[in-house]
Amino acid sequence: MMNSEYLAVFLDESQEHLQAVNDHLLKLEKQPEDESIVGEIFRSAHTLKGMSATMGYEDLAHLTHNMENVLDLIRNKKKQATTEIIDIMFQSVDSLENMVNDIASGGDGKLDVTSLVAELEAIEKGSSQAVKEAAATTEQVDLLEVYDEYERTVLEESLEQGYSVYQIKVELDEKAMLKAARVFMVFDVLNQLGDVIKSSPATELLEEEQFERDFIVTVVSKDSGEVIKNKILKISEISDVVVQSMTSFVHTTQAEDQTLQPVQEKPSETKQEPEKGKDAQKAPENNKTIRVNIDRLDILMNLFEELVIDRGRLEQISGELVNAELTETVERMTRTTGNLQEIILTMRMVPVETVFNRFPRMIRNLSKDLGKQVHLEIVGAETELDRTIIDEIGDPLVHLLRNSIDHGIETPEARMAVGKPAQGTVLLKAYHSGNHVFIEIKDDGAGISRDKVLNKALKNQLITEEDARSLTDSQVFGLLFEPGFSTAEQITDISGRGVGLDVVRNTFESLGGVVTVHSELHKGSTFLIQLPLTLSIIDVMLVETGGEKYAIPLTSIVETAIVNKVDLFSAHGQKVIDFRGKVVPLVFMRDVFNTPVADLDEDFYSLVIIQKGEQIAGLVVDSLIGQHDIVLKSLGNYLTNVFAISGATILGDGEVALIVDPNALIK
């Protein structure tokens, strides 16, 4: 019978291999000649097949077996990795993911994959449309060519720069009258697509029409063999074109006078070296890591949180008793628990890569559906965040990326009409700064029209005409996060209903984060998300109001201040102060939480200046207590919607302090 321990390992490794297949299929689509990528996909599929068969999941093993057959043909250059074939491979991966998810949720992993298997078998037998198209560019012929050392160097450097190498045999129609003119036209097309490295016969002989009907040209190009073939065939009086990839040949280290051999004989030599190198690099890492169930880390974290509470209690007792020996012991324990805290928090850190990995595939599919060309650039995928936060940010990021593609990036025609490249770029960037992680989604699309947002906000009565004149760009774009707000002229399956951005903001704010928008019309938009590193143990400023203690997260505090009552002004019925040249509205905590008034005759106010994005406000409290590490505790299921309170904590003296959510206090 199946051991549940083995099942957990199977699920973990299956998801890793499926993610690897996804990633490498995307790379293969861009670099169809790179055999090392095919090798990586093959290896993951093969491992997945073996594990599935061992665990008794026959449908999973059957589908991966058929994928493996197609990959084997690509690896041996009998098929080319066309977009059509890669599409079917992606569909297979989707089905595999569904089966694995079903197993993870307690199912038997069974799924009807008959049609997919039939598609894969059709590719294997060469009877599918995808195969026919692939065959058009992978026809194997004995194209013979000899390269000297200089030519070989040029080819090698071209490959390093991302070009592919093709040997092309062009056959003229037997009735062609002006053969030299046809040759010139072929060379003209090839020079537009890349660079001609060599021809046989030599160009002088071709110009003098000293050849029969066919000639061979070696070309380096970034276009696919299929594109090159189709463009040459558009020239009249060309009867046949055979394009053969020579990339694998160039990778080998042939002698100077060696004659070309059919390309399928080379892969076994070229693919093994990088595999060995990668294995050698990965081996030490595997020996230094172990898999730990996240539940165990959660238990460890909970126990440590209790330790932090006890530490606070000990520090308070030590301060009250004034015993040198006790103080020294407590200080030593504080240092040790501080180091322990750092280690435990580090153990919970996960690279944002685990979330970002799913986006390239999504962008690819979305671009195809919308008829747009989009390049997704990911920077800083190794940036780490607490596992709790990682689990929550996936869906909001999906929403922002879909908005960027749907509303931001223009169609290729529209982009070219305004002088932009046909392909738009979306930058997804993550980086650390202080105690925060920033995630940036930036596109070079059409940008957001400030006027359109303002008009919509006025129409929806979100703002007044007076507000419209005084709002900054950031405040105007912030209106996009209002519930039901949308400037889209058309509602699509992807976006446009105004449902979602408010949920995106609420999700990030519930994590203690802030999302802001910057945009320039016709140049693009940037959504910047600021997130805390961790949620469990946070630094706070303890304050007191109405005899009760509150904790305000340091991440939201700009500074603290004491101001005289005479420095307060009134504007639009609101108390404000002039703080470092800025008019800052005041929020009285005793009014917000309806606490007893402590002292009406006080001459000074204690202020905590808090910020939300570019907005700041002054929180008026009775007194400032000081900075502390606290453990964030939930208020439980019965108190889920308490205004401006995000949780509670237990202080060193056993008293409970509520944790203020500054984002809710700044409108």
Residues designated as active site: 46, 68, 403
Query: Would you state the torsion angle of the CA atoms of residues 165, 169, 170, 171, taken in this order, to the nearest 10 degrees?
Result: -170
Query: DSSP letter at 260?
Result: P
User: Which residues are 199's β-sheet partners?
Assistant: 217
Cis preceding-peptide flag for 201 (omega within 30 of 0):
yes
Rounded Cα distance between 185 and 216, Å, is 14
Kind of pairing between the strands at 424-433 and 374-379: parallel
* Backbone phi and psi for residue 610, each to the nearest 5 degrees, phi listed first: -110, 160
Residue with tokens 């491979």: 89
Q: What is the residue-wise DSSP string for 550-603?
A: EEEEGGGEEEEEEEEGGGEEEETTEEEEEETTEEEEEEEHHHHTTPPP--TT-S
Closest CA to 546 of 594, 619, 596: 596
Give rounded-to-5 percent helix, strand, coil for the chain. Answer: 50, 25, 30
Any idea what the Cα angle at residue 481 is, between residues 479 and 486, rounded to 5°?
80
- Dig out the tokens for 606 from the structure: 């204690």
Rounded Cα distance between 494 and 405, Å, is 10
User: Which residues are 607's β-sheet partners?
Assistant: 561, 620
Rounded Cα distance between 255 and 147, Å, is 10
Closest CA to 201 of 213, 187, 215, 212: 215
Q: How many CA atoms lie within 13 A of 181 on its CB side?
A: 7
Query: DSSP letter at 543?
Result: E
Rounded Cα distance between 552 and 158, Å, is 58
Rounded Cα distance between 16 and 13, Å, is 5
CB 224 within 8 A of CB 137: yes
Q: Count other Cβ atoms within 10 Å, centred on residue 637.
A: 6
Kind of pairing between the strands at 524-532 and 514-520: antiparallel
Residue 565: alpha-carbon gap to chain centroid: 50
Residue with tokens 């996909």: 41
- Dig out the tokens for 277 from the structure: 């190198």
Q: How many residues does the chain have?
A: 667
What does the buried/exposed string (b/e) look like for 541-550 if buried means 16 or more CB atoms within 10 Å of the residue's CB? bbbbbeebbb
